[in-house]
Structures are given as C-alpha cells and as structure tokens.
Structure 1
Amino acid sequence: MAARTISSIALWISGLVILLIGLLVGGAGVRLVVLGGSWYYLIAGIGILVTGALLMARRSAALWLYALVVIGTIIWAISEIGFDWWQLAPRGDIIFLLGIYLLMPWITRPLARAIPLRRTAASAAEMTARPRSLWRGAALPLAASLAIGAVVGIIALNSTYNDREGRLPTAQAGATPPATLTAEGQGDDWRAYGHSSFGDKYSPLNQITPDNAGQLKIAWTFHTGDQKQPSDPVETTYELTPIKIGDTVYICTPHDWAIALDAETGQQKWKYDPKITERKNLQHLTCRGVSYHDENTGVGAASSAAPGGECPARIFLPTADARLIALDAKTGQPCAGFGQNGVVDLMVGMPDAQRLVGEYYSTSPPVVTRNLVIVAGEVTDNYSTHEPSGVVRAYDVNTGALVWNFDTGNPDATSPLAPGQSYTLNSPNSWIVSSVDEALGLVYIPYGNQTPDQWGGNRGPNTERFASSVTALDVNTGKVRWVYQTVHHDLWDMDVPAQPSLIDLDTANGRVPALVQATKRGDLYVLDRRTGQPIVPVEERPVPQGAGKGDHTAPTQPFSALTLLSNPLVRERDMWGATMFDQLACRIQFRSMRYDGMFTPPSEKGSLVFPGNFGVIDWGGISVDPVRQIAFANPDHMAFVDRLVPREKKPQSGNDQDVQRPAGGSDVQGSSEGGANPMFGSPYSVELNAFLSPLGFPCQAPPWGYIAGVDLRSGKVVYQHKNGTVRDLSPIPLPFKMGVPSLGGPIITGGGVAFLTSTLDYYIRAYDVTDGRQLWEDRLPAGAQATPMSYRSAASGRQFVVVMAGGHGSLGTKLGDSLIAYALPKS
C-alpha cells in the first residue's frame, strides 16, 4: 500500500512539472504570437499543460494527448525546415524526451492502476490485464508517435542540407602565363603577405597534391615566446602570415618582435624587440606580418640604391606604438639611414597627435613597390568622432623620406605635408594590406569607414566618396585614378576588409586585368583594375530606410551578381538553440527587433544585422588561382544585433561635438567587433553583440562557416561545404561537423590543394580545390586565426606549409605561440 501511495505522489509531481513546462512554453508562445510569430509554441504549450493536468488526475488520456503533441511537432517541424537534422533537433529534443519519460514504468503503472473497475468485483486476471490494456489504449499510440519521430531523425541524420556540390574547371586558362607568376611571384618564395603584390595568396608549388596531402607531417615547430600579458588589450592576437625569401622565414609577434628563422629547420637566426610602448587606449595588439625589399633584385621594378650600400635587403616592421622600422634582413639591426636611426614616426602629421597617441597604428605589413614603402593604418573603431587620420603615406624605401600622402579628407593634396600642418581628423582608414600592379603603376587601397561605424550624421562629401571603397592611386604621386564604393553611407561596419586580389581574367571581351574584392557583406566585386568598372554585373537595389536621429540612409546599395552569401535573408524558422526553450527565446528576440532584410539600419529598438560586422569575409580575404582563374574562400554566416543607446546629454555642434570624449590614455574596453562601444561625439553609444540564445548558442541555425569554390570566368559559386566542428566550442569535445566561423584566410597551391587554419576549432585542413573535398587535417595546439603560407626549401627541395597557432583574444580561442611547418616525409 505504501508503494502505491509513493507511486501516486510521483505521478502527481511528474504531472505538476509537465504542467509547469506547458505553462512556460505556452506563455512564451502567447508572447511570440502577439509579435506575429509561429502559433506552434502556444498550441504545443497548451497540449503539454493539459497533459500534465491529466497526469495529476491519474488519467491515461494524458498519453493520448501527448501522442498528438508529438505528431503535431513532427508535422510542424518538417513543414518548416524539412529533414535538416541540426534544425530538427532543437524543435523536438524536449518533446521527444518528455515522451520517453511518459512511457517509464513509474508513469504507466500508476495510470494502469487508475483504470476504472467494472461494477462486478475485479478478478485477479482483470487486475493483471490492466497494464496491457493501458498499452493498447494509450501508451502504444505514444510509443508509435515517438517511433515515427525516431525514423524522421534517422532520415535527417542521413540527409545533406546546406551543401552545394560541384567541380571547378581544371584546365589552364590560356597559354600566356598570368602576370602573377612572372618575376616577383614565381618560384620557391612567399615574398609578401599575399604571396605577391597581387595579393592572390597562391603558390605555384605543386609537390603537395590531392593524392599525397594525407601524408603531411610536422617538419618543425618554433615557439616565439611572446605571450599575452595582463596589461594587454582584450584583442591581443596572432594574425600572422610569415614571408620567406631565400633560406629565411620572417615573422612578427603581437608585441612586434621581428624574428628570422631558417626555412629548412625553423631555427632562430635573429630576433629584434622594438620594446613598444603600450597604452591603455590601445584597442588591438597584433602584427599580421612584415614586408621585404632587396635593392639588388627589387620588388617589382628596380629601386634606387641605399646610401653606402647599407641594408641592401631590409625588413619593414610596423609597430603598435605607430612606428615603421627598417631592419637589416641579415642581422635584424635597424637600418640607420632610414628615418631616424631606422625609424619613421607615423604620428607625425596626425591631428591632435598628443591627445590621440595610442589610437592609430598599422596592424598590417606595408606595401613595398619600386622605391616606395606605402603604409596605412587602423584607428580606434567606434570610440569617438575625434580620431586620427586614415592617411595613406608613401616613404622612400631607403631614406624614409615622405614622398606622397593621400588623405581622403583632402584627396587632391598629395604632396608631402609641410611641417606644422596636419592631416584630416577622423578620415576613412585602411586596416589591411593594399595590392599593387607595377605595370599599370597603381596601388589599390581597401578602405573602411570614418568612425563611428553605426552613426554617420556628420560625414562630409569626401567621406561619402571614399568610405567602404576600393581606391586606385597612382603609385608615383598618390593621385586618385578611380574609386569604387561597395557600400554607400555605411552604418553596419561593412567596410572593405581584405586585400584586393589581382588576376588577368578571360572574359567575352578578351583577357582583362581584373581586381577581385571580397567584402564583409559577402559580395565579390570583380572590376577592371584599369578603370574600376565592374566585369561581373552590379545592380543598385532599394534598401530599408530610417536611420537614428541626426542620420540618414542611402536609398540604394550596390549588389554584385557574384556573392558568397547563400541566403541573404534571416527568417523566424532559421532560429536555433540547444533546446526548444532557447530556440523559442531566439524567436521572441527575433520578432522583437527591427529586421527588414539586409541593410536594416541600427536602431534604438535593436536591429538584426545580417551578415554581421564579423563579416562573411573579413581581413583574411580569399585566395585566387591565376592559372585556372578560380577562387577559394571561407565565408561565415553570422548575424549580429546592433542597438543604439541614446545619450543623456546631446552632443554640441561644431568643434564642441566631441566634448564627451575622455582625454587620451582612457582605457578602451573590449573589441570594436562586440560589446559596448561609446561613439563619443554622436547622439548614441552602440551595443554590438552576436545574435545568441540565453544559453550562449547562436540564435541562427548552423552552418555558420563554409568553404566555397568560385569560377571567376563564369562568375558563379560552384560548390559550398560546411566546414569545421564544435569540438572546441562545446563544454565537452563533441566532433560534430556543424560548420563553424573562421577568421583568417585560405591559400591555394599549384598542386590543386588549398589550406585553411582559421576555424574556431583548432585544426589545419587541406582541401581538393576542384571539388572542396577535405583531404587531411591535423590538430593544432591553439587557435589559428591566421592565414598560412607555403614555400620550397632549397636545402631539401621539400614544399612546406607554415601556420601560426597563437589564438585570438576577442574570439576566445586558446592562446599559444607555435609556428608550425608541415611537409611530406623525406624520400
């Protein structure tokens, strides 16, 4: 008798818990319906609630009702998203588990005992038959509905969604060797950040092929010894791509140490520490690479000789305290004849330099071309309307004398700035490496925004012309030759983040010198690099209107016919989560924000921005095979939420607009890509956050990261495959291949193999460029948010692939200091 009492109490408590779950789901479902969303959660919540009430009343009809809930869920889920496993799972996980629970003996036995007796005295046989009667009457239908759900799950597990199959052309694109494989770009070296001044990130080496890539092994590992310090900014990162010239590999570290290594063994040859001055207002601490110049061979055209033959081969190192340092490539010692004892101060000419020190420096290696070293730089994003200039400057490669300067705020005045004068405050800037066409005499600058990114009420005509553009300048004079803008009046941080890729492209009008520009919004703009005119069609389309107070939006935006964004829209059915609860929360959040499609302006209500400012493509860019005229990319699909927060005090006009901005030296917290950004001098601050569920999972359904192959001649994305696992993102190391974001870029080799390391799981992977098939992977000791490179060592004749596994502070990947070289086993 006591056992039956305990059993009845357990049934009642189970019913109460299920009733409360129903109240939770149904109540949130009411909120979703009011916002215009799906009715499913309200209906399912009522079903779960009544199921709980029937259990508390010891009614076997509870199982019948719940079977209907299960079947209804299956029908609804399939009608919304088909048989996509990762979308089905959060729709049905709680429902399925509750169904299993309802079939447990501690539920079915008390319900069986509660079946009413016939009026005649119950026989022992009838009492024994009650459990069987329950299964025939109620439990069996529930079990059958769960079996149907299991079958649907098995089908979904074996279904392929989101991938696109295809094969890129394998034939060479003509008998004439592309320009990127002549002179500078050809051979065993990796001479610049993007392999050559064309920024193609293509090595012609073909020792590693799809047939043998699986045999790659670690050849050597070098530990830099440069680790993140407690005083460093959050965004302390290794985003390094080494260069290799002759028998030496050259690298830099977050604290701007320059190091030379033996290309065959990885042994250190020399190290130079510039002993940078860190300031509290430093937003980033990273060094993406160094640049090289040799007076004997030149980089492109021949250069003038260095005075007295000093430093005939030199390394150019940008530093976080806004210096450009020239080092002897053989010894690592500063070249005394360059600037002041080997140093050019990049704060010279900056407006309000003493106040703004620490808010400008070059994270990326400069461009070295002819007799010039051309340097741009980043400014502190989203902090203030009072920021350093985004000026691009060309210095004599030997003396460090200023040759020309291009300031978007004063674009016609390119002669060297006179002493006592300053560049335009807060003009658009360029964070990443530029590209150069020596034959055309043009340098191509990828531009970002005038800060702040999410409010542009005070932008002038020059900003509106040059921001978020590719701008071609005359190499010798810095004069503008053409400008192509990819976003008008950019309020989304959709700047041009990546080095342009130059390629000679076969078109219906013959072979054309082309420029391929990857963007954060996923569009690839293919332009005639002589004129800036599109080769692949671009269409101006109307976009959502209604910016924050004091601001405006552009009526149209340019859309390229070639895009890596597989679906430009986010819908309620795309909401995701680990369970139905956080998926429901994501649906409510989605319906509560402003979202009118791509280019929805930031708002006080909070706007969904997709693609987010993390970018479909960020600074890692794409890689281009100039022989096959194809491209390989690693696009991301992640939404962000931008919310404008009004200030209590309205900023003043004119020169007093920036009065709320603290003096230089204030601590810049967090990253420009997330969290609270103050935007001093504007009517708002802004909160930028990834679109996440209450449990911290993306609200947007996976995949979040892909690899893609592009036929540049046809202007088509040929294949796209989800890429990467959640092993290093989940609380336990689950190797589910869901497709994870990546930050960094790929490379292509002449053997038809592409390499990528930048996913948020810690792997280097090799792919068959033709069809995107993964060939090989190896576990890395830390995050590798960087772009690899490849070279051949004369000592052994082997082709090496070198990757930096140093982690990324803002993304939370594991930090490290490992530079790792892979090669095929020695024969």
Structure 2
Amino acid sequence: MQKKDLSRFLIPLSVTMFILVLVGCQSPEVQSTDHKTWSHYGGSPDQSKFFESPSITKENVGQLEMLWSYPSGDDRFYFFSPIIVDSTMFVLGKNSSLIAINALTGEELWIHANLPGITRRGINYWESKDKSDQRLLFTLNNSIQAIDARTGKSIENFGNNGYVDLREGLDRDPTSITRIQSMMPGVIYDNLLILGSAPGEGYFSPPGHVRAYNVVTGKMEWIFHTIPHPGEYGYETWPKDAYKYVGGANVWSEISVDEERGIAYLPIGSPTYDYYGADRLGSNLFANSLVAVDAKTGERLWHYQTVHHDLWDYDLSPAPQLLTVNKDGKKIDAVSIATKHGFVFVFDRVSGEPLFPIEEKPFPKSEMPGEESWPTQPITSLPSFTRHEVTKENLNPYFSDSLRQDWLKRLDSAKTGLYVPPSDKYETLMMPGALGGANYGNTAADPDNGIMYIMTQEYASTYRLNKVEPPKNELTNNDVDKVKSLYGSSCIACHGPNMEGGAGPSLKNLGHHMFYEDFRNIVINGKGVMPGLVHVDEASLKALFQFLGGDPERRNFRRGQGEEVPIEGPVVASGGVDIPPDTQRGAPMQEYPEGTDHPEVRYTTDYGLDWPGLIDPPWSSILAYDLNNGTIKWRRPIGVDSLYAKGDETKGAPNGTQRKGMVITSTGIVFATAKGGKVYAFDSEDGSVLWETTLSNETNAQPSMFTLNGKEYLVINATSNFRSDSYDHSKKSGAISKGYVVYGIPDKK
C-alpha cells in the first residue's frame, strides 16, 4: 500500500464533473428545506437548528418568560429533543413513555407507555402527501418501530409484525450483535428513514454501515458500507478481509440532508479499536470521513477523510452544516464540518472541492508493536477553535501547590501535542480528548449568510495503552486491584469513594438487585449524564459486577420491553410491539475469524476523562465562524463557573457543551444551553448577551422552537440532575419539577 498516495482521500476530478452534471440536471421531487417548523430533530433535515421567528427579535427577547411546563413524571434523565407538528408536541417521560401534548397548554393527548430502550435523543415524524398517514418512527432495543402520530398506537403492519430487526443486514451473525441502534433518531428524506448506529467501539464491535428504510413498509432500501467490502471503493485502504472483524466507522450522531439536491451528508466516526490499529493498517476509508451519498440510493458521490488511520477517537460527531457562502465575490453552496480536535473543513456541497486550502502535514510515528500510524494528517488553513497541548504554562491556575507539583512531574514524563500516538511506555495527554472540541448537537448555522455556530469545550484525555488479558472466571486479587483502579478513574466522581452515591446513585449491593445484562448495557451505553465506557473489556465488566456483589451468570429472561409500570393519564398503548427477547442478547464476537491475519496482542485504554479541568479556563465556549472569509467572528465563554475554580479539588470542571444545543433565529438571535441550567440569547452579530436565565434542572438535549397562532415559542428539556460541580438550583424556592419548559413573550394585558 502506498502511504503517500493521497488520491483516494478525494474523489477523482472526472467523476466529480460527472456528479456535477448528474445532480445539476436532476429535477428534485422534494421541496427545499422549510425552517418554519420543527418536525425533525435539529429543526429540519439539514440539521441547521435554524428557525424563522419573526415575532421574537433582539429588541423584545429580554421579555421572554416561562409560559408553562410539562413535568417528565419521574426521576429519570431524558435527553429527548421535542418535535412539534401543527399544535402537537411529542416528548419522552413517565417511565420512558412517548407522550403527545397540546403545544399551547401542555395538556396530555395520548401516552404510549413503557418504552425502555427507546432512542434517547429524539424520534422522527413522517406524513403522506395527503396527511392521511402520520407516523412516528424510532428505534427501540435494536429494532425500528412505528407509532400512529394521531392515536399513539403501534403500527403493526410495519416491518415484520410491527418491527425491523436492526441486527440483520450487516453481514455478521445477528446473534453476535448485542448493540447496534443509534442514540440519535436518524433523518427523514422523502419516504426514507436514513439511520446510523452505535455499535460500540471495542474490538469486534459490529460495523457501522448506514442504512435507509422505507417508512411505510420497513424494507431496507439501501446500505452504504462504511467499511468497504471486496470490490468496493476504499477496500484497499484496509487489510484483506478486515471488514469481517473491524467494527465502528459508524454515524452515531446527526445526518444532514440537502433536500433540494437529494444528497445526504454522513459524518462517520472512528473504526475499532480507537486507540490501537495494528489489525487495520491503512488509511481506513470511510472512517473519520465526511461522505456525500445520493439520499435515494446510498451511492457515494464524494468523500473527504479528516483523520487517516485514527488512533485518538477523533470521530466526526457534529452535524454537517449546509450553508451558502460568499467567497471571493461568488456564492457557493457549501457543507462544513467541525471536529473534536478543533478544526473546520469546508467543501463545495456538490463537488466536494475544499473551499479553503488543506495541507497534509507530518506527525510523530507510533512506537507500538505492529502499529503503523499514518505519516501525515490533513490540516486546514482555517483557524482552530481549540488548544492542542497541555503545558506547564496552561495548567489549571486553581490547582493547589501540591497538585500543581504533581502535574509538573507528570508532564515531564508524558507526551502531549496534536496527533501524538498513544503508547504503553508513557502517558499521552491529548488536547482535546474524547469529549473535547465540537461534539454532537454542537453546530448550527444561518444557511443563507454563511455563518456557522460552534459550541466547544477544552477537555483533555489522558491515555496509556495496556495489554488485553484473556478472560478469567474467578475474581483474583489482581482483578480486584484493577477493578478498584477502574472505579477510581471512571466512577468515583459521581458514585462516591464508598459507593454511597453523590451526583450519581448509590452502588452499594447493586449486583444483588440487577442482572448482568442490564448492568453491562448501562456501563457500555451510559445513562443520564454518565458517558458510556465503551472501551471496558468483557472480563473487566464481569469483575466490576462481581465487585458490586453480582453474579454475571445469573440470567434475566424478561422480555425486551421491561415490566409495565402503572401510569396516570390517557394511556392508549404500552410497550410497543412484541419483539423477540434476544434482540439484545447473544454471544458477542470475541476472536478474529479463522484465516485472517491479526496481531498476537491487543491493547486498550479508557477514555482518560479524570481531569476535565486540566488546563486554564475558559473551558466551554460558543463561537460564530464566518465561512465567507474563514475567520472567527466572535467567541464567548458559556456555562457556570466550576466549583473546582472555587478551590474544591474534589469537584470536576465544567463539561459545558456536550449534550447541549442551539437554535438560530431569522431575527439574529442565537439561543444556546450550557452547563448549570443556563440558557442564553446571544446577538448573532457580536455575541453580546441579550437575555439569560437559569433553569431549575439541568438540560441535556437539543432545544426546539415552534410557531402557533402567529406566535413563537422556545422549548427546553430540563429533566437532568445537576452534577456535583454545579450549583443545585432544584432546591431553591420556587423551583419547578423536572420537565419540558416552554418560553415565550407574554401577551400584553
């Protein structure tokens, strides 16, 4: 394989010209994007979070008040982003129930109860041209299901008796796939649901191929192999037969669609295993790539790979933004992607031609056995929006003298800097790390003015590779030490030094009242504000469960939907359709397929998220990126001051932008949520704060807007607990219950 051959990263010019002619001559059947409704996650299929809001202006936004709220009904966290169709709002609450409420009053219209395992962040709405068929589509326990949006009842002639099994169609044994559904809803285009996945990032995770399903029949209409099969473009960028065992390379976040042209833009993530790639030597297309495909067929139109042979978990997370830019006096329809490592890449939306220069620059070589890091990485000429090193000069100024001295010594033996490969010989301090830079929900745009808005956080990761040990049946003293280390690095901040709880619940005797399957699902996938620990191997998971008093061999044979819980209100159905109980059970792939070449030793590391406040503040910011000239127009810090900055070293630093979101209005307002229950209205021109409020509970979802009777409303999901490094406003006098909060300008009396 020729490592210097970069032609495969961009589509050849001759093919590009063919696409220009083909797409330019097509007569689109779908109308251009309407930004006057919010019936999709992100507002519309372009994921711009842009909304036509003529009645809320810079002059009157300061008059916004909470008009009503709808309580979520229990103490769970819901990351759900409401969608609104006509006068009906759809939310998630009351023991994972889908609920239709009157968008003007909050009155419950129907409840489809008990849907644990439903996609956490949102659902899709589709209607036929005559509106006789209106349905909600979502994933649940590795299946796709559909509900009648008017009645709330399951549509049982969808798919196979009401469901589609997402484990099928991936060229892997379906019984070996224990997790595949995405936490994001996907996107509706015409009569298709285009869907990504979240298969996990451990060795032998399933592949993250992107698929499109017919919204009426449930039939899979097309599949795009993100890990190419033999004979497909990009196959040669992997070892022979790598598609049989490599996983990931998935779209776990937001897919954007140019409805007028019929092009879907896929932000594809990292391949497995994220931090050690000796079994996937090569550049690894289409991992870490922005890929444009024909939305009707899934055919690749063009692509660009932003990280070659990723070893840093720098997957593409935020939504690609579709904008019209005015560059050198010429209007160009562009697509822009912001990255975890702080770069912005901008391309012609049709041809894939970069609008700003990108240079392949050399970076350090990996010293790990069997590993071959790619010699160069693409660096855009546009200014970065994050820092890329942890230095003695930018250490957190609030550290005590003793803690500072510890870190000064640690830095002497560690390596830091952009694209420093992980090692088992020394610690690498990656800035930003796995949760740094721009993440899902962290980009928005004014589509006509060429301005992209980015939320970003300065969050380092500390990595050190360790050998994957063969699984053991007994919990040895060495296992106990490892489990205690795992608990100390990943669990203690929320669950307390004695497992008595804190920001998270108590874990004392957890194993006595939980089955291993459920425990494993929570640890790997995350729950509430807890991130999924996808890199913990199976042996360590079982050891941790035993450490908490559990028996990994005690099996749970309940059905996939979980036990029904009595719910008050207009309940019309419960649990979705019946699905086989094995959609989340099976025997995960544990070894390489027979006959495939592979390294003798595997290595892993955790996310290294112990020190979110490692460098000096501000830790979280929002910025306006002017893509007409490639400059950062303004930048403002967001979120509460951390208690860490007040001198309490037992607390963490702000995690202010992940799981947050924005709404951009046609009147020049940028609504943004941030850590500590903060909601801002910024002036889009200069970033000045026009309005600000603090919620009674934390928000971890995309805000929404809607118009009813000529008046605009802002909806915020405030259903999360505050973390231990925030002030708890839920205990203040006048605080409201967890739920969905609707803001508007009160009518004049």
The answer (yes or no) to whether the contact 2:623–2:635 under 8 Å persists in 1 is yes
Aligned match of 2:125: 292
Take 1:314 and 1:322, find their aligned partners in 2: how far apart are those partners? 19
Take 1:700 and 1:434, find their aligned partners in 2: how far apart are those partners? 32
Aligned match of 2:608: 689
Query: Displacement, 1:664?
Result: 8.1
Q: Which structure 2 residues correspond to residues 766-805 of structure 1 after superposition, within 5 A?
A: 766-794=681-709, 797-805=710-718
Say whether residues 1:741 and 2:630 are aligned partners. Answer: no
The answer (yes or no) to whether the contact 1:544–1:600 under 8 Å persists in 2 is yes
Mark the CA change 1:378 to 1:265 in structure 2 (over 3 Å): closer, same or farther: same
Mark the CA change 1:227 to 1:341 in structure 2 (over 3 Å): closer, same or farther: farther
Bigger drift between 250-259 and 748-757 goes to: 250-259
Query: Does the residue aligned with 2:465 lie in a helix, a strand or coil?
Result: strand
Aligned AA (1:805): A
Aligned match of 1:330: 150
Aligned match of 1:631: 452
The answer (yes or no) to whether the contact 2:442–2:657 under 8 Å persists in 1 is no
Take 1:293 and 1:412, find their aligned partners in 2: how far apart are those partners? 36
**Aligned partner (choices 311, 314, 319) of residue 491 of structure 1:** 311
Query: Displacement, 1:273?
Result: 3.2
**Aligned partner (choices 260, 266, 271) of residue 111 of structure 2:** 271
Query: Displacement, 1:331?
Result: 1.2
The answer (yes or no) to whether the contact 1:709–1:717 under 8 Å persists in 2 is yes
Aligned AA (2:227): G
Query: Displacement, 1:263?
Result: 1.4
Query: Displacement, 1:187?
Result: 5.7
Take 2:137 and 2:231, find their aligned partners in 1: how far apart are those partners? 26
Query: Displacement, 1:714?
Result: 0.7
Aligned match of 2:84: 244
Query: Displacement, 1:440?
Result: 2.3
Aligned match of 2:747: 826
Mark the CA change 1:677 to 1:342 in structure 2 (over 3 Å): closer, same or farther: same
Q: Which structure 2 residues correspond to residues 424-439 of structure 1 after superposition, within 5 A?
A: 425=245, 426-439=247-260
Aligned AA (2:364): P
Take 1:564 and 1:784, find their aligned partners in 2: how far apart are those partners? 28
Aligned match of 2:375: 555
Query: Does the residue aligned with 1:690 lie in a helix, a strand or coil?
Result: coil
Query: Does the residue aligned with 2:408 lie in a helix, a strand or coil?
Result: helix
Q: Which structure 2 residues correspond to residues 290-329 of structure 1 after superposition, within 5 A?
A: 290-296=123-129, 312-319=133-140, 321-329=141-149
How many equivalent residue pairs? 588
The answer (yes or no) to whether the contact 1:355–1:664 under 8 Å persists in 2 is no
Query: Displacement, 1:722?
Result: 1.8
Take 2:291 and 2:723, find their aligned partners in 1: how far apart are those partners? 30
Aligned match of 2:358: 538
Take 2:614 and 2:534, find their aligned partners in 1: how far apart are those partners? 17
- Residues 297-320 of structure 1 show CA distances to partners (whole Å, capped at 9, x for unaligned) of 68xxxxxxxxxx6xx11111122x
Say whether residues 1:409 and 2:227 are aligned partners. Answer: yes
Query: Displacement, 1:409?
Result: 2.9
Say whether residues 1:349 and 2:349 are aligned partners. Answer: no
Counting helix residues as a fraction of each chain, which structure ranks higher? 1
Mark the CA change 1:728 to 1:324 in structure 2 (over 3 Å): closer, same or farther: farther
Say whether residues 1:388 and 2:236 are aligned partners. Answer: no
Take 2:468 and 2:229, find their aligned partners in 1: how far apart are those partners? 33
Mark the CA change 1:531 to 1:606 in structure 2 (over 3 Å): closer, same or farther: same
Take 2:170 and 2:723, find their aligned partners in 1: how far apart are those partners? 28
Q: Which structure 2 residues correspond to residues 580-659 of structure 1 after superposition, within 5 A?
A: 580-595=401-416, 597-604=417-424, 605-648=426-469
TM-score by length of 1: 0.66
Take 1:723 and 1:522, find their aligned partners in 2: how far apart are those partners? 17
Query: Does the residue aligned with 1:361 lie in a helix, a strand or coil?
Result: coil
Aligned AA (2:718): A
Q: Which ranges in structure 1 are unaligned for 5 or more consecutive residues? A: 1-179, 229-236, 279-284, 299-308, 415-422, 652-662
- Residues 735-778 of structure 1 show CA distances to partners (whole Å, capped at 9, x for unaligned) of xxx97632122221112111111x22121111111111122222
Aligned match of 1:701: 616
- Residues 405-444 of structure 1 show CA distances to partners (whole Å, capped at 9, x for unaligned) of 1222345899xxxxxxxx9552521101211123322211
- Residues 560-608 of structure 1 show CA distances to partners (whole Å, capped at 9, x for unaligned) of 223442543332111123322222222222222122x201111121100
Take 1:413 and 1:395, find their aligned partners in 2: how far apart are those partners? 24
Aligned match of 2:520: 667
Query: Displacement, 1:640?
Result: 1.1
Take 2:107 and 2:471, find their aligned partners in 1: how far apart are those partners? 58
Q: Which structure 2 residues correspond to residues 103-142 of structure 1 after superposition, within 5 A?
A: none
The answer (yes or no) to whether the contact 2:697–2:721 under 8 Å persists in 1 is no
- Residues 633-669 of structure 1 show CA distances to partners (whole Å, capped at 9, x for unaligned) of 2211111101111245699xxxxxxxxxxx9888263
The answer (yes or no) to whether the contact 2:314–2:340 under 8 Å persists in 1 is yes
Query: Displacement, 1:218?
Result: 0.5
Query: Displacement, 1:531?
Result: 1.9
Mark the CA change 1:256 to 1:369 in structure 2 (over 3 Å): closer, same or farther: farther
The answer (yes or no) to whether the contact 2:276–2:604 under 8 Å persists in 1 is no
The answer (yes or no) to whether the contact 1:253–1:286 under 8 Å persists in 2 is no
The answer (yes or no) to whether the contact 1:206–1:752 under 8 Å persists in 2 is no
Mark the CA change 1:411 to 1:534 in structure 2 (over 3 Å): closer, same or farther: farther
- The sequence identity of aligned pairs, in percent, is 28
Take 2:608 and 2:90, find their aligned partners in 1: how far apart are those partners? 36
- Residues 64-112 of structure 1 show CA distances to partners (whole Å, capped at 9, x for unaligned) of xxxxxxxxxxxxxxxxxxxxxxxxxxxxxxxxxxxxxxxxxxxxxxxxx
Say whether residues 1:362 and 2:195 are aligned partners. Answer: no
Take 1:588 and 1:556, find their aligned partners in 2: how far apart are those partners? 30
Mark the CA change 1:598 to 1:781 in structure 2 (over 3 Å): closer, same or farther: same
Aligned AA (1:800): Y
Aligned match of 1:60: none
- Residues 354-407 of structure 1 show CA distances to partners (whole Å, capped at 9, x for unaligned) of 5544322121112111221111110123x3x21122121111121111211122
TM-score by length of 2: 0.72
Take 1:526 and 1:517, find their aligned partners in 2: how far apart are those partners? 7
Q: Which structure 2 residues correspond to residues 566-585 of structure 1 after superposition, within 5 A?
A: 566-576=386-396, 577-585=398-406
Mark the CA change 1:634 to 1:408 in structure 2 (over 3 Å): closer, same or farther: closer
Take 1:183 and 1:811, find their aligned partners in 2: how far apart are those partners? 47
- Residues 684-703 of structure 1 show CA distances to partners (whole Å, capped at 9, x for unaligned) of 221322363xxxx7221111
- Residues 461-495 of structure 1 show CA distances to partners (whole Å, capped at 9, x for unaligned) of 6x701001111112222121111111111111100
Aligned AA (1:698): G
Take 2:639 and 2:722, find their aligned partners in 1: how far apart are those partners? 20
Aligned match of 1:678: 537
Mark the CA change 1:460 to 1:438 in structure 2 (over 3 Å): closer, same or farther: farther
Take 2:169 and 2:75, find their aligned partners in 1: how far apart are those partners? 33
Take 1:711 and 1:314, find their aligned partners in 2: how far apart are those partners? 38
Q: Which has the larger radius of gyration?
A: 1
Q: Which ranges in structure 2 are unaligned for 5 or more consecutive residues? A: 1-27, 233-242, 473-515, 539-589, 592-600, 731-736
**Aligned partner (choices 621, 635, 639) of residue 720 of structure 1:** 635
Say whether residues 1:764 and 2:604 are aligned partners. Answer: no
**Aligned partner (choices 195, 200, 211) of residue 375 of structure 1:** 195
Query: Does the residue aligned with 1:476 lie in a helix, a strand or coil?
Result: coil
Aligned match of 2:39: 191
